Amino acid sequence: MEFNLNIDHLITIVKFVIPFLLGSLLFFTIIIAPTIFSTLDAKNSRSIIRNIFPKLYTWSIILSLINLIVVFSIFSVSLWSSLSFLILILYVISRQILMPKINILSDTNDKRRFRKYHSLSVTIFIIQVILLLIVYINV
């Protein structure tokens, strides 16, 4: 049995993975996080968010890696594969560098630096959403 993906199959994968990733992120941002913060006290909210965020970023890294591999398979080195690579790297930076730093700043009650890093994290998130939409529209 031969497994052969043509360009139409690859584009279908991208057209599935990107909305799936965006939907996951937006569902968490719009539904899950606000519900957690509005129904639980600060200690329990922090605990759940700190448990979910690493998993959300790992999920995003996996889907972004799949997207990168498929986009690269279609276009090789191109603007779309470069943007897909940037999206992936930003998830890794957010998960491995920013998230632990934000947690430490929250624990030490360094509100000024916490806001700075959290704002950077949110900005990166918005950039990723925009880049995902750009890749989606152009693939």
Is residue 63 within 8 A of residue 121, CB to CB? The reply is no
What are the DSSP E strand ranges found in the chain?
A: none
| pLDDT confidence of residue 77 | 86
Per-residue pLDDT of the chain (139 residues; tens, 9 = 90+): 566 778 899 999 999 999 999 999 999 999 999 999 999 999 999 999 999 999 999 999 999 999 999 999 998 889 999 999 999 999 999 999 999 999 999 999 999 999 999 999 999 999 999 999 999 999 8
Q: Which residues does 17 contact at the CB level (< 8 Å), separation at least 6? A: 63, 66, 67, 70
47-75: per-residue pLDDT in tens? 999 999 999 999 999 999 999 999 999 98
| pLDDT confidence of residue 2 | 62
